Amino acid sequence: MQDIETVNQKLRDTLEEYNKEFADVKNHKVIIKTLKEKSTKYEQTLSNKAESLALGKEQKLQNDFTEKERKLQKTQTFLASKFEEADHKVQVLQTALKSTQTELCDLKAKYDAESNAKVDEVKVIRPCLERANHRAEVVQRETEILGWILRFSG
């Protein structure tokens, strides 16, 4: 009977070890379940934070894009205005250039006409001037001769 009691005691010890191990396994299951819940919670929190950050970044990018688009539009409007001003100035300058060129041609024609008239006048006056100079020379010689005659006769 002692053998039976020894075997029985061994079985009880083994059963007790199994019960402890079973309790440990159950305890591990509870720990694992708790850790899984915490992990899921952290994953959800992390996912929410990532989504929040992504939305924030997306909003910032959208705002930056809108601001840059506004600046681009403003620049394009400014440049279009400056282009129109420059185009208007070019047209005014071209008109002034044509007017000046026309005036210059008119003045050149007038100058040419006056110059030709002066040349014609000089052509007419030159023979008269040459005759007058010739007469003046003749009168001067005659005056010199009369001066000699008066000096020698006197």
Rounded to whole angstroms, the Cα distance separating 59 from 49 reads: 15
Identify the pLDDT of residue 154: 62
The average pLDDT across 106-115 equals 93
Q: Of all residues in the chain, what percent carry a pLDDT higher than 90? A: 62
Rounded to whole angstroms, the Cα distance separating 50 from 43 reads: 10
Rounded to whole angstroms, the Cα distance separating 16 from 10 reads: 10
pLDDT band at 107; cut points 50, 70, 90: very high
Q: Of all residues in the chain, what percent carry a pLDDT higher than 70? A: 99
Rounded to whole angstroms, the Cα distance separating 67 from 25 reads: 61
Cα 32 to Cα 20, 36, 45, distances in angstroms = 18, 6, 19
Q: What is the pTM of this model?
A: 0.45
Mean pLDDT, the chain, whole residue set: 91
For the stretch 77-90, pLDDT in tens is 999 999 999 999 99
